[in-house]
């Protein structure tokens, strides 16, 4: 029978250690020989398992039978607590390695910075609901301040605008190699009534709630968020662009930066602003714009030449002209494969409308206008008659598979496409902050706590974004099933430290998967030992 309170010295030879579940079991080799196929094998008996430090043996009855009853034993004291340190350690290590911790300490001082990091670590591991944060701190953190919901709210309210801007300036400067910066907007809905910027507007999540908009910069080089600003939820994305760009000088964002944006920001006023300020951009364009349609028609016959290939199955032609009142380059792309998918989708839309028309005897004027895009419709004495208008259907399908990017840089069509495609990193970041960090609902009720909580969620997003970056490498090299971010946290929660009444910290041995994960994140055994020793 095993008793974890009793350990003996590990035999120096004649043993084999094999992992089974969460323990490493130790076997005494009784005899070695070759089997009938000439393969080396042995007979062995289980004599116990390794302790959680992996240095001593927790013996069973077989051990005493084989080694005798007089072996020097040691009684291990009962554990005072068990702490699952893996995931919190990873988050704090990432923030430290990326330089965010050092900047936070300069801005807020050591104690407040540690509290910010604790709140951000909780959000990265558990999400946005702080009701159980005290229990989590006691189960998962070593030496850091224990947060309560009340202390968390007080922390959020204490983080001033000026302090946050000092952090952002330091963070942007620390990531000086900016190159291409993606800019996009998301929003957070809320039931609260005491938030100044909470207003009704276009809700991206389909919630029938007022919202706060958030514009964010993300560096394409590192795939890390750089800066954000909030503004009223009723303001449309394209209207806010000049106000976002007004922060560039304060942040130290230089003229060498190229801003990458989707077509929602493309307007005459915004392009006039970008050119007047000397700002460079790579921007998606709505193909329904008059000048864009004319440019597409001008290259339609020549674009599918093999000389215009920019990637597998994609062709492009660059057109320099005046677009939206400014001289720039329109990169026009055509993907026959994408075009065929879009044509199939269009045809399904036509079939669905036809089914609706067949099932209803009458329809509203608004619906008739929508249906008339693809159908000739007549209403006679309340009865509908309709037929497909293939001229309008063909016109709608004419630009299937065609999309455009506008830029005032010297990028080639292939380079502009590559840069624009990397913009999806910011969309993934928004998905992380809303779903992984769970900020889809802010769950605070005042301007001060909203601002502070969003800042802590931004710090959490820095760590979560780096986790996503490194998980690509791990999942690409791993022969096992791919790990999600939640799967990684679940795996690292198994890294436990046993704290004895006299203050000793004993960590259970790492599994193969845990070691491989820490290797990807450039975490060594010394890093873990230093964390255990310092409690930071």
Region 22-42 average pLDDT: 85
Beta bridge partners of 511: none
Q: Which residue has the higher pLDDT, 23 or 483?
A: 483
Question: Treating both helix axes as pointing N-terminal to C-terminal, what angle do 86-98 and 525-534 enclose, rounded to 10 degrees?
Answer: 100
pLDDT tens digit sequence for 234-254: 998 889 999 999 999 999 998
Alpha-carbon separation of residue 2 from 80, 87, 190, 214 (angstroms): 20, 30, 54, 57
**Beta-bridge partner residues of 317:** 332
CA-based Rg of the chain, rounded to a whole angstrom? 31
Across the range 212-228, mean pLDDT stands at 94
52-to-25, 48, 49, 79, 226 alpha-carbon distances in Å: 12, 13, 9, 12, 41
Work out the number of other CB atoms within 10 angstroms of the CB of residue 38. Answer: 6
**Rounded mean pLDDT, 85-91:** 93
On whether the CB atoms of residues 173 and 106 are closer than 8 A, the answer is no
| Coil vs helix vs strand at 28 | strand
Token readout for 508 is 């259970």
CA 11 to chain centre: 47
Please tell me the predicted confidence (pLDDT) of residue 536. Answer: 44
Sheet (strand 81-84) strand order:
81-84, 496-499, 505-507
H helices present in 246-335, as ranges: 248-251, 268-276, 290-299
Crossing angle for the helix pair 149-158 and 100-126, nearest 10 degrees?
A: 140
Return the higher-pLDDT residue of 196 and 162: 162
Handedness of CA 73, 77, 82, 86 (dihedral sign): negative
- Does residue 275 register a pLDDT over 50? yes
pTM: 0.81
Structure tokens at 452: 């502070």
pLDDT > 70 in the chain, percent: 93
Burial class of residue 79 (count of CB atoms within 10 Å of its CB; 0-12, 13-18, 19+) = middle
- Judged against a pLDDT cut of 90, whether residue 37 lies above it is answered with no
**267: its two tokens:** 């307007």
Q: What's the pLDDT at 386? A: 86
Q: How confident is the model at residue 1 (pLDDT cuts 50, 70, 90)?
A: very low
Inter-residue contact 263 to 271 (CB < 8 Å): no
DSSP run (H or E) holding 55: none
Does residue 25 surpass a pLDDT of 60?
Answer: yes
What is the mean predicted confidence (pLDDT) over 442-461?
Answer: 90
CB 107 within 8 A of CB 147: no
The three state secondary structure string of 400-456 is CCEEEEEECCCCCHHHHHHHHHCCHHHHHHHHHHHHHCCCCECCCCCHHHHHHHHHH
Mean pLDDT over 207-225 rounds to 92
Can you give the pLDDT at residue 385? 82
Exposed e or buried b per residue across 157-171, where buried means at least 16 C-beta atoms within 10 angstroms of its C-beta: bebeeebbbebbbbb
Sequence-ordered list of residues with C-beta below 8 angstroms from that of 278, at least 6 positions apart, any chain: 255
pLDDT score, position 369: 78
How high does pLDDT run on average in the chain? 88
Mean pLDDT of 196-225: 88
If 0-12 CB within 10 Å is exposed, 13-18 middle and 19+ buried, where does residue 139 land?
middle
CA atoms within 13 A on the CB side of 490: 5
- Phi first, then psi: what are they for 377, rounded to 5°? -125, 135
Is residue 404 scored above 50 in pLDDT? yes
pLDDT at 277 over 70: yes
């Amino acid at each position: 029978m095993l008793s974890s309170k009793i350990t003996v010295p590990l035999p120096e030879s004649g043993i084999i250690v094999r992992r089974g579940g969460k323990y490493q079991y130790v076997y005494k080799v009784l005899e070695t020989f070759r089997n009938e196929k000439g393969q080396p094998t042995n007979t062995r008996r289980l004599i116990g398992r390794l302790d959680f430090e992996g240095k001593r043996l927790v013996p069973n009855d077989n051990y005493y039978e084989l080694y005798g009853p007089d072996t020097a034993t040691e009684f291990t004291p009962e554990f005072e607590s068990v702490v699952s340190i893996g995931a919190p350690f990873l988050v704090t290590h990432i923030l430290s390695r990326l330089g965010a911790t050092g900047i936070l300490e300069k801005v807020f001082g050591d104690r407040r910075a540690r509290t910010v990091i604790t709140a951000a670590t909780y959000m990265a591991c558990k999400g946005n609901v702080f009701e159980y944060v005290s229990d989590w701190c006691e189960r998962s953190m070593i030496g850091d301040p224990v947060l309560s919901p009340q202390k968390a709210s007080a922390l959020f309210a204490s983080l001033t605008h000026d302090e946050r801007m000092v952090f952002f300036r330091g963070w942007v400067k620390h990531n000086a190699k900016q190159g291409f910066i993606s800019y996009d907007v998301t929003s957070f809905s809320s039931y609260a009534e005491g938030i100044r910027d909470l207003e009704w507007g276009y809700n991206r999540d389909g919630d029938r709630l007022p919202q706060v908009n958030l514009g964010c910069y993300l560096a394409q080089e590192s795939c890390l968020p750089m800066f954000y600003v909030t503004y009223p939820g009723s303001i449309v994305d394209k209207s806010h662009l000049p106000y976002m760009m007004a922060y560039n000088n304060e942040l130290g964002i230089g003229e060498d930066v190229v801003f990458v944006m989707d077509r929602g920001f493309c307007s005459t006023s915004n392009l006039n602003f970008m050119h007047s300020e000397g700002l460079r951009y790579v921007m998606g364009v709505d193909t329904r714009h008059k000048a864009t349609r004319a440019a597409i028609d001008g290259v339609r016959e020549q674009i599918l030449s093999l000389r215009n290939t920019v990637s597998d199955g994609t062709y492009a032609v660059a057109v320099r002209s005046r677009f939206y009142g400014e001289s720039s380059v329109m990169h026009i792309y055509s993907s026959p494969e994408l075009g065929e998918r879009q044509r199939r989708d269009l045809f399904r839309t036509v079939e669905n409308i036809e089914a609706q028309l067949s099932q209803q005897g009458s329809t509203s004027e608004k619906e008739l206008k929508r249906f008339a895009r693809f159908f000739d419709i007549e209403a006679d004495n309340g009865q509908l008659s309709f037929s497909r208008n293939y001229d309008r259907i063909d016109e709608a399908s004419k630009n299937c598979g065609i999309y455009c990017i506008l830029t005032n840089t010297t990028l080639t069509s292939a380079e502009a496409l590559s840069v624009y495609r990397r913009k999806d990193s910011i969309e993934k970041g928004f998905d992380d902050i809303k779903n992984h960090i769970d900020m889809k609902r802010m769950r605070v009720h005042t301007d001060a706590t909203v601002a502070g909580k969003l800042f802590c969620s931004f710090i959490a997003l820095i760590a979560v974004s780096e986790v996503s970056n490194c998980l690509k490498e791990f999942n690409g090299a791993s022969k096992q099933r791919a790990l999600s971010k939640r799967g990684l946290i679940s795996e690292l929660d198994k890294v436990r430290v046993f704290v004895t009444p006299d203050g000793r910290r004993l960590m259970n041995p790492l599994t193969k998967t845990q070691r491989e994960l820490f290797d990807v994140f450039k975490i060594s055994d010394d890093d873990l030992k230093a964390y255990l020793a310092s409690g930071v």
